Structure 1
Amino acid sequence: MEKSIPQTVLITGASSGYGKATADFFLEHGWNVVATMRQPNAEIFSAASDRLKVLPLDVTSADSIDSAVAGAIAAFGAIDVLVNNAGIGVVGAFEATPMSTVREVFETNTFGVMAMTQALLPHFRERRSGVVVNVTSSVTLAPMPLAAAYTASKTAIEGFTGSLAFELEAFHVKVKLVEPGYGPTTRFASNGGKRMEGLIPEAYASFAAPIFAAFAKPAAVTTEADVAETVWRAANDQTGQLRFPAGADAVALAKRK
């Protein structure tokens, strides 16, 4: 009996949080994993594996994307699933948010996702097989104050994904959305700390205070494991479902919507 060939997933933003948890989950389930990150570090994974390839990737750089895709295909022969997880955050009053920061957020969260997807579509189309999983956010399910720029960057991907799913159906390529809720154990806040300095001016302080207090004591949250399991379900889904909320809070918001 021939030994089955493992499928391969390429995950962006796999150095921590949802991306790393997703990489671990797919490895545990026997897949080949291409874990990409700006500064590659294979030591973050618990054990070395011939099914794991860690590659450098900056989703805002066309050359970096081309190099990572070529390296992934060279390592495992083909890519079956692309998980667009890399993203950056910004929280603050939109009035005080520099347009340079807005553009920075869109470059990663929106254009980076589009560029990665476009880079892999010829590979998927020619094989007449493949899945693109775009990780957005529960801010697309219900409005959240002080997150206008971030919400816009993620909502753009929701529209992009829905349209692309129809566009690629004829080539047997699937496109899915995973919508995580609030993940306080991730590096979302710490990674964006410098970017968010000074974005709550005095005029907004009394408005922002109860919002931040509520975030400090959330009724429900999303864990890294929630997202990893949901990405797995989306990548293996055969029902045609487009949206997959991840985490108790996101699931509750999706039901209300």
Structure 2
Amino acid sequence: MKKTVLITGTSSGFGAATANYFASKDWNVIATMRDISKNGNLDKTENIFVTELDVQNRISIEKAINEGIHHFGTIDVVVNNAGYGLFGIFESASREAIQNQFDVNVFGAMDVTRTILPHFRSKQSGVIINISSGAGAIGFPMASIYSSSKFALEGWTEGLRYELASLGITAKIIEPGGAIQTSFMNRVGGESAGLQLIEDYLPFLEQIGKVYGGMQDAADADAVEKVVSAIYEAATDDTNRLRYSPTNDIQPILDARRTTSEQEYQEFTDTIFSAK
């Protein structure tokens, strides 16, 4: 019997690529997005069912999950991919903008997961894959709001996995690198538009812009393929492995975060990010 995956945020980027990849592996795919008119012809593939899901609307979450189960008979894996990045100086962001960041990146994933869990419990099986970021392990400057949302996503997932393990359900995290060029990154300017400009930060912004330019130059050319493959591996490897970090661009910082002392890590990252 074919397995079925539900993926949020499939109108572009990782979500669209992941939907096509699972379909090519003979999975049934429930491809969800806020605006189904932007499905990029996903609806033309026989084993892909496109339906509306807005992670900020619990009614649409319930409707999409029920429609997906009705269409394919079951759901085996959920990929919480929907998200965006609010990048800019913390002081320049409004409280409303910060709340919206958490509503999408954290509470949206929680609401999708809460809705699917009764179905997974009834089967005593299921896999929840949360798309985090290298910024879920590393506090990046100009991304303190985005990083905090992904730190929250990772902390929640890590705690959740223990609760679900006794039921045969696994929870996993994918950590794409910080300098990946997908349409997600192309959205950053739009999502961050309207942030207040505070001139005192301009010298720092100029410096950090050069740092990120260098990181972008070092980004994996095949980053999207690596991330999609990691998502598929997480869905199919039948392990309780928690984290998958498939790209190389920020691996030295991740290694320092997880293998060195706090002082060594701070000294290392200061050489990268601190104002000179």
Say whether the fold is shared (TM-score over 0.5): yes
Preserved contact between residue 92 and residue 199 of structure 1 (Cα < 8 Å): no
Give the equivalent residue in structure 1 for 2:219: 221
**Which ranges in structure 1 are unaligned for 5 or more consecutive residues?**
none
Q: List per-residue Cα deviations over 1:94-144 (Å, max 9, x = no partner).
A: 011100000000000000000000000000011001000000110122221
**Counterpart in the other structure of 1:132:** 128
1:167 and 2:163 are equivalent in the alignment: yes
1:205 aligns with 2:202: yes
- 1:133 to 1:250, Cα distance in 2 relative to 1, 3 A: farther
User: Is contact 1:110–1:157 with CA below 8 Å preserved after alignment?
Assistant: yes
Distance 1:28-1:148 versus aligned 2 partners, 3 A rule: same
- Structure with the larger RCO, 1 or 2 (CA within 8 Å, 6+ apart): 1
* Cα displacement string for residues 125-173 of structure 1 (whole angstroms, at most 9, x for unaligned residues): 1100100000011012222101111111111110110111000111100
Choose 207-216 or 145-154, whichever is displaced more. Answer: 207-216
**Aligned alpha-carbon RMSD (Å):** 1.7
Residues 23 and 33, structure 1, Cα contact 8 Å, conserved in 2:
yes
Aligned counterparts of 1:30 and 1:57: Cα–Cα separation in 2: 23
Question: How far does the alpha carbon of each residue in 1:174-198 deviate from its partner, in whole angstroms, 9 at most, with x for none?
Answer: 0000011124421234323233133
**Residue 36 of structure 1 aligns to which amino acid in structure 2?**
T
Query: How far apart, CA to CA, are the structure 1 residues paired with 2:253 and 2:241?
Result: 17
Aligned identity (percent) is 36
Residue 36 (structure 2) pairs with residue 19 (structure 1): no
For residue 49 of structure 1, report the CA deviation from its aligned partner: 2.6
8 A Cα contact 2:5 2:27, kept in partner:
yes
Q: 2:188 aligns with which of 192, 195, 199?
A: 192
**Residues 49-79 of structure 1: per-residue CA shift (max 9 Å, x gap):** 3211011110010111011001110110000
Measured at CA, do residues 113 and 252 of structure 1 come closer, stay the same or move farther in structure 2, by a change above 3 Å? same
Residue 29 in 1 paired to residue 25 in 2? yes
**In structure 2, do the counterparts of structure 1 residues 150 and 168 end up closer, same or farther at CA, with 3 Å as the change threshold?**
same
* Aligned counterparts of 2:155 and 2:244: Cα–Cα separation in 1: 15
Structure 2 residue identity aligned to 1:235: A
Q: Residues 80 and 184 (structure 1 numbering): CA distance in 2 closer, same or farther, change over 3 Å?
A: same
User: Is the partner of 2:65 in helix, strand or coil?
Assistant: helix
Deviation readout 1:13-34 (Å, 9 max, x if unpaired): 0111111111111111110011
Helix, strand or coil: the match of 1:87? coil
Residue 95 of structure 2: aligned partner: 99
Output aligned runs, 1:1-257, within 5 Å: 5-41=1-37, 44-45=40-41, 48-197=44-193, 198-218=195-215, 219-222=217-220, 223-256=223-256, 257=258
Deviation at 1:213, TM superposition (A): 2.2
Find the aligned partners of 2:72 and 2:15 in 1 and give their Cα distance: 20
8 Å CA contact 1:8, 1:33 repeated in 2: yes
Determine the C-alpha separation between the residues in 2 that align with 1:54 and 1:253: 38
3-state SS of paired residue (2:153): helix
Q: Against the structure 1 CA distance between its residues 82 and 250, is the aligned structure 2 distance closer, same or farther, given a 3 Å change threshold?
A: farther
1:202 deviation in Å?
1.0
More helix by proportion, 1 or 2? 2
Report how many residues are paired.
253
2:136 and 2:196 mapped to 1: Cα distance?
21
TM-score for the superposition, normalised by structure 2? 0.86
